[in-house]
């Protein structure tokens, strides 16, 4: 039976210690304005900061943590001196929702350590103000890095002068499983958010990343998640682009880091990237974003075993 997304997310938030837990519709009990000695920029200020960084003539990594990816790091540090390393429930979720394989302790620990290393190279980090982010981020984020409210990355269309306008006339690589649907929707980009300018004219290049969620990993030609990551890196290296927009599950932050190493700019948006192109998902069905020009992903965009994703939320479909 499908679980309402917001209910599932609330359970995750409680477990992970989110600081602005809901007490009712659009209400919060507490807000966090800084992590360590770094101000958390508001969504609008964060949007403006991202715009500024995208206009610099320097490689940049702008990203956020995935829910399960950060939980893997949390459990690594929590249980590393215990007989076990990761809970059974998290291993299940990390495999079927995040698409990580094989989900044994060795490979999950390798992933956690790699994420700590990537954090050291982030330029702008979007956060949800969870308790563990507050504990973890100051240890690894570089001194010069900025922190923004995650909504600055997820929902720039809510902001004045969204940072996406900085993509004008650029070669934009969109790394996302819905590659063909994104191409179709970009053709009617001015109809998706008709009341504001959001997606400018740019040279759209799409790249379909490896998808291992549900049962999809059974049919992949890779023995590990890391092999798939390296194969994608080798293919991306051959693409001529200026900026990458990334929604690629657990691969996202790592692909963004690789794009930065190539001298490019990367924004790891995550699942919300499909909204930029007017693609519906059950996660956002009640948020009032849609109009008649929005569409559902194609049937071919849904992997086998999608009912295992987030215990049946079908969040992106």
For 229-290, the DSSP string reads HHHHHHHHTTS--SEEEE--GGGHHHHHHHHHHTT-EEEE--TTHHHHTTB--GGGTTSS--
Work out the pLDDT band at 299, boundaries 50, 70, 90: confident
Residue 317 lies in a domain: no
Mean pLDDT of 144-151: 97
Least confident of 1-5, 7-11, 56-60, 103-107: 1-5
* 8 A C-beta contact, residue 122 and residue 47: no
Residue 271 lies in a domain: yes
What is the residue range of 290's domain? 5-311
77-90 per-position pLDDT tens digit: 988 877 778 999 89
Q: Is the pLDDT of residue 197 over 80?
A: yes
Residue 122 lies in a domain: yes
* 8 A C-beta contact, residue 85 and residue 79: yes
Least confident of 35-44, 126-135, 244-253, 291-300: 126-135
Q: Is the pLDDT of residue 217 over 50?
A: yes
Least confident of 37-41, 109-113, 130-134: 130-134
CA angle 251, 257, 261 (to 5 degrees): 140
Instruction: Please give the mean pLDDT across all residues of the chain.
Output: 88
| 73 closest CA partner among 159, 19, 20, 133 | 133
* 8 A C-beta contact, residue 71 and residue 90: yes
Residue 316 lies in a domain: no
What pLDDT does residue 200 have? 98
- Strand order through the sheet with 146-149: 34-35, 38-41, 146-149, 124-127, 60-64, 265-268, 243-246, 171-175, 203-207
124/146 Cα distance (integer angstroms): 5
- Phi, psi angles (nearest 5°) of residue 142: -65, 155
* 8 A C-beta contact, residue 168 and residue 200: yes
265-294 per-position pLDDT tens digit: 999 999 999 999 999 988 899 999 999 999
Mean pLDDT of 142-157: 97
Mean pLDDT of 19-31: 40
Percent of the chain clearing pLDDT 70 (strictly above): 85
| 189 closest CA partner among 200, 180, 179, 181 | 200
* 8 A C-beta contact, residue 179 and residue 206: yes
For the whole model, what pTM was predicted? Answer: 0.88
Q: How many domains does the chain have?
A: 1
What pLDDT does residue 23 have? 37
What pLDDT does residue 214 have? 64
Q: Is the pLDDT of residue 136 over 50?
A: yes
37-77 per-position pLDDT tens digit: 899 999 999 999 999 999 999 999 999 999 899 999 999 99
Mean pLDDT of 101-108: 95
Least confident of 14-18, 178-182, 183-187, 265-269: 14-18
Residue 297 lies in a domain: yes
Give the Cβ contact number of residue 189 at 10 Å: 19
What pLDDT does residue 308 have? 60
Percent of the chain clearing pLDDT 90 (strictly above): 69
Mean pLDDT of 213-228: 84
What pLDDT does residue 15 have? 52
Residue 149 lies in a domain: yes
């Amino acid at each position: 039976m499908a679980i309402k997304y917001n209910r599932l997310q609330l359970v995750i938030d409680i477990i992970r210690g989110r600081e602005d837990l809901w007490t009712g519709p659009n209400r919060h009990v507490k807000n966090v304005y800084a992590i360590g000695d770094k101000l958390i920029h508001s969504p609008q200020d964060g949007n403006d900061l991202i715009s500024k960084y995208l206009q610099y003539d320097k490689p940049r990594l702008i990203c956020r943590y995935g829910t399960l990816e950060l939980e893997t790091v949390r459990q690594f540090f929590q249980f590393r001196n215990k007989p076990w390393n990761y809970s059974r429930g998290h291993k299940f979720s990390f495999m079927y929702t995040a698409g990580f394989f094989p989900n044994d302790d060795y490979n999950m620990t390798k992933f956690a350590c790699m994420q700590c290393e990537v954090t050291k190279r982030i330029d702008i980090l979007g956060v949800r103000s969870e308790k563990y982010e507050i504990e973890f981020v100051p240890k690894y984020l570089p001194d010069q890095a900025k922190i923004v409210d995650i909504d600055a990355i997820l929902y720039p269309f809510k902001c004045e002068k969204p940072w996406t306008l900085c993509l004008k006339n650029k070669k934009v690589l969109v790394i996302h499983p819905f590659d063909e649907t994104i191409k179709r929707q970009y053709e009617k980009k001015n109809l998706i958010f008709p009341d504001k300018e959001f997606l400018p004219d740019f040279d759209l290049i799409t790249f379909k990343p490896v998808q291992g969620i549900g049962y999809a990993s059974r049919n992949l030609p890779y023995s590990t998640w890391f092999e798939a990551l390296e194969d994608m890196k080798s293919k991306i290296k051959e693409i001529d682009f200026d900026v990458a927009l990334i929604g690629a599950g657990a691969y996202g932050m790592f692909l963004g880091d690789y794009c930065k190493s190539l001298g490019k700019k990367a924004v790891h948006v995550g699942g919300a990237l499909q909204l930029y192109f007017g693609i519906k998902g059950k996660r956002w069905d009640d948020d009032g974003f849609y109009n008649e020009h929005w569409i559902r992903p194609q049937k071919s965009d849904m992997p086998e075993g999608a009912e295992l994703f987030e215990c049946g939320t079908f969040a992106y479909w």
